Amino acid sequence: MSLPHIAADQISLPHVLAALGDPTRLAIVRMLADSGNAPIACGGFAEFGSKTNISYHLAKLREAGITRTEIAGTSRLISLRAADLDARFPGLLDSILAASGEAARAHGPLPIPATGVLL
């Protein structure tokens, strides 16, 4: 089960940039990337704000095409649309994650660093 999401080719650059221009939403995306793109429930973002506020920011990220939301029981599982984003805007998510001090890449679950850098 899944909430409605826009098609990958309808993701708009200004909307993506505006969505990630908010520190709270950027932190959410960073956390998703940190998880190796494994889905995280809304509650996992509690440190970034109130339940209702997180719900608002997650809706923005979903509407911008940055995240996917799957319904699992009473939870929503949020994940990055990393492949869709990289197909639409090659390298963009990677460079933003790298710029935000990130280890995770847009592709691949979790590249084990040869010499434990950057975690």
Partner DNA sequence: TCAATAGTTCAATGAATTTTGAACAAAGGC
Partner DNA sequence: GCCTTTGTTCAAAATTCATTGAACTATTGA
Rg for the chain, CA atoms, rounded: 14
- Helix, strand, coil shares of the chain, percent, nearest 5, are 50, 15, 40
Stretch that binds a second copy, among 39-47, 52-60, 65-73, 84-92 (CB under 8 A): 84-92
Beta bridge partners of 78: 40, 69
Give just the sign of the alpha carbon dihedral 113, 114, 117, 119. positive
Stretch that binds a second copy, among 37-45, 55-63, 71-79, 96-104 (CB under 8 A): 96-104
Contact predicate 78/68, CB 8 Å: yes
- Nearest-approach distance from CB 103 to DNA, in angstroms: 24
Contact predicate 78/41, CB 8 Å: yes
- Residue 8 vs 42, nearer CB to DNA: 42
Residues numbered 29 to 58 that lie near DNA (CB under 7 A) are 41-43, 49-58
Stretch that binds a second copy, among 13-21, 37-45, 46-54, 67-75 (CB under 8 A): 13-21
- Nearest-approach distance from CB 93 to a second copy, in angstroms: 9
> What is the CA 108 to chain-centroid distance, rounded?
15
Q: Which does 94 bind (CB under 5 to 8 A by kind): a second copy, DNA, none?
A: a second copy
Q: Which does 68 bind (CB under 5 to 8 A by kind): DNA, a second copy, none?
A: none
